[in-house]
Structure 1
Amino acid sequence: MDQMIYSIPSLTAVDQRVLKEIDDLGERLRRYLHVPQRWYGPLRRATMARSVRGSVAIEGYHASLDNVTSVLEHDEGVDLARETRAAIAGYRDAMTFALQVASDWTRVDLSLIRALHFMMMRHDLQSRPGNWRPGAVWVRDNDGNIVYTAPDRSELEILLYELVDQLATTKAPAMVKAAMAHLNLVLVHPFRDGNGRVARGLQTFVLGTEGILEPVFSSIEGYLWQNTSGYYAALTEVAAGEWSPHRDPRPWIRFCLTAHYHQARVHLRRIEETELLWGDCESIAAAAGLPQRVVGGLSDAARGRRLQRSLYRRLTLLTTAQEISDPVATRDLAALTRVGLLEPHGQARSRHYLATPRLREVWRNIRARRRESPIGDPYVSFGQQQMPTD
């Protein structure tokens, strides 16, 4: 019987070593995240925003991290094009759903894949949200040339059943299984549009079902956005222009494991810097005689983010589990302005606050302490200059 979908390959010794390094980094992350910290909520929020921004940016929907965060928090006042806002909101809803049910979902099935597509694409009825493509489909480059031909429509459901069966029955490391789910789904190309978004979401969901850390901190979408050309190059190398399940998927596995390695290193750095910033802001607030609840807003502002009253209230709830009123938030922001930590801008509904140079300096000093050299390719670091040819 001919091979129907891309099979999970045997792993090389270098693959195993990279996985071990990722596991070790993951254990360090778990130690940080195991004990609840006040800074955890804002960090998780920012990490989710980066993942969503990365995934939709790959599809051409660009927005600042502040604007993406505002959409994730259902802020209707954000200034974005309708289609960009809808794409972000759709991805937000799909990933919120996936992250909520991942630990309880016994296995990936076709209804889950269709549900993810519906939530991500419901703003665009031309993409037939939640429905398989009606016929043949091709991927074209910017010049209109066909660069990939997906399998025939008559094979679609059979191939997708093979995909979910592979996930349910094949023994392999979770990151490898998740990468293969992404590869097979995006190359089967079951939808008219939105295949990449659904494949990336499915990869994160599989990591969640396999119990890998917290899925928000295991997603590689930020790395895929920052390395979009490498992302497409790895897919192109494996597919070679058409549905070719007999080809070796190892270039794709290597790319995904490299992405996990990079993301884990970046998350560790961000956690360490977030902890330092939180401690510095606590000291500043205490020295100024300000309540502990202002620290979450100070930390956000120190990083250069705009602080509005509604956002300040959300941050306070996120970091203290206490809801404050508009008058209390207004008084806090006025107090932070009086002591020279925030600068007010705008009037009425457009009123917002930015960090003063004094507060921004706190974050600059933390970033200046970085001693880490650029994160390299773990495969090169571990001695493999070329992919195996066997």
Structure 2
Amino acid sequence: MINATTIKITPEILKLIAEIDEFKGAWRALGTLAPERLSALRHVATIESIGSSTRIEGSRLTDREVERLLSNLEIRSFTTRDEQEVAGYAEVMELVFRAWGDIALTENHIRQLHRDLLAYSDKDGWHRGAYKTNPNNVAAFDEHGNQIGIVFETASPFDTPKRMTELISWFNQELEDQQWHPLLAIGLFVVVFLEIHPFQDGNGRLSRVLTTLLLLRAGYTYVPYSSLESVIEQSKEGYYLALRQTQGTIRSEAPDWQPWLKFFLRALQHQARRLAAKVEREKLLLGALPEIALQILDHVRQHGRITVSEAVTITGISRNTLKVHFRTLVEKGHLVLHGSGRGAWYGLA
């Protein structure tokens, strides 16, 4: 059972929670953009989330490569492990975004999400959706791939089912009793889940899926429009340091939750601030740019790039007229021109 009595509610933690909750309350007003604008924001955030979460675990695919892969998901055949992981993560995230209200936190649902997360991973077929059967302590490796030590010991395969049952029971009871703020309860759940490391592989990716699920179920409905995973990727060293500092004390009589909770809440704060800035930027663009320019920007957000010829096809406007719009978008800092001549294309600034 989680010993949450040692949580110290510092002024910083209170301030972080207050700011995140203020944004949660303001989202109804901030999220009044047209559906197609919100769709564009969500598309970009989803690409960032999938790319970042898989790269944290070692994938080498860029966001552009992720976007290209997702545009062809119907092929359902992926040659590399990186592609397999991206495809599985994308489908699970879409499921969570679509049906989070129906996915209660239960062991069955967690195992199903794990099974779907690894649906395309060839080497993971033997353990999809099943708790680990072999130890999976988190190890450190040198530059040659040789193990040089254990960062921390995870739960044993024997103890894992019992500890997962206890963790899920604790979390659901905490939400019902409302003893702790939901963000604190979610933060504790995530760090203990990762300390247990219940599955043979895929625990990091699944923990970030579960974070999104639990935030949505707690009423933080803005999370699909801003990537928490990309925030974590940009602070990866701090992420692992905070995990190690807290996880090393979890089984002691006085767990130190502070390192992880501070990192977790700061990441959520940064996620909310990024989204607020994006929404305000969208509103400014909406009032300051003509419809043709907005069409161009929407296409770039969804596909990563655009050429003048593609814009002609999309808008039905002449090349000369479009060149004026492209010049304006570059001058205002919205787009950047890459290349020249026939190979020229535009990307987001």
TM value normalised by structure 2: 0.81
Contact 1:109 1:164 in 2 (8 A): yes
Q: Are 1:114 and 2:130 matched, yes or no?
A: no
Q: Are 1:147 and 2:151 matched, yes or no?
A: yes
Structure 2 partner of 1:341? 323
- Could you tell me how far apart the structure 2 residues matched to 1:148 and 1:38 are? 46
In the TM superposition, what is the alpha-carbon distance from 1:219 to its structure 2 partner?
A: 5.4
Coordinate RMSD, CA, aligned: 3.1
Aligned to 1:223, which of 210, 223, 231? 231
SS of 2:151's equivalent in the other structure is strand
Change in CA separation of 1:302 and 1:7 when aligned onto 2, cut-off 3 Å: closer
- Could you tell me how far apart the structure 2 residues matched to 1:76 and 1:63 are? 19
- Could you tell me how far apart the structure 2 residues matched to 1:278 and 1:69 are? 25
Aligned to 2:194, which of 186, 190, 193? 186
Contact 2:96 2:213 in 1 (8 A): yes
User: Is there any run of 5+ residues in structure 1 with no aligned partner, and where?
Assistant: 286-293, 313-328, 343-354, 367-390
Residue-by-residue CA offset, 1:107-137 (whole Å, 9 max, x unaligned): 3011111112112222334332211111222
Structure 1 partner of 2:133? 134
In the TM superposition, what is the alpha-carbon distance from 1:304 to its structure 2 partner?
A: 9.2
Contact 1:277 1:363 in 2 (8 A): no
SS of 1:154's equivalent in the other structure is coil
SS of 2:300's equivalent in the other structure is helix
Change in CA separation of 1:152 and 1:209 when aligned onto 2, cut-off 3 Å: same
Q: What is the letter of the counterpart of residue 137 of structure 2?
A: W
Divergent runs of 4+, >6 A = none
Structure 2 partner of 1:70? 68
Q: Are 1:362 and 2:320 matched, yes or no?
A: no
In the TM superposition, what is the alpha-carbon distance from 1:227 to its structure 2 partner?
A: 0.3
In the TM superposition, what is the alpha-carbon distance from 1:40 to its structure 2 partner?
A: 1.2
Structure 2 partner of 1:376? none
Contact 2:114 2:128 in 1 (8 A): yes
- Could you tell me how far apart the structure 1 residues matched to 2:65 and 2:82 are? 10
SS of 1:102's equivalent in the other structure is helix
Q: Are 1:197 and 2:205 matched, yes or no?
A: yes
Q: Are 1:265 and 2:247 matched, yes or no?
A: no
SS of 2:131's equivalent in the other structure is coil
Change in CA separation of 1:365 and 1:332 when aligned onto 2, cut-off 3 Å: closer
- Could you tell me how far apart the structure 1 residues matched to 2:120 and 2:4 are? 34
User: Is there any run of 5+ residues in structure 2 with no aligned partner, and where?
Assistant: 337-349
Greater alpha carbon shift after TM alignment, 297-306 vs 42-51? 297-306
Q: Are 1:15 and 2:19 matched, yes or no?
A: no
Change in CA separation of 1:365 and 1:89 when aligned onto 2, cut-off 3 Å: closer
TM value normalised by structure 1: 0.73
Q: What is the count of residue pairs matched by the alignment?
A: 321
Contact 1:39 1:278 in 2 (8 A): no
Residue-by-residue CA offset, 1:295-323 (whole Å, 9 max, x unaligned): 333444389932389xx8xxxxxxxxxxx
SS of 2:152's equivalent in the other structure is strand
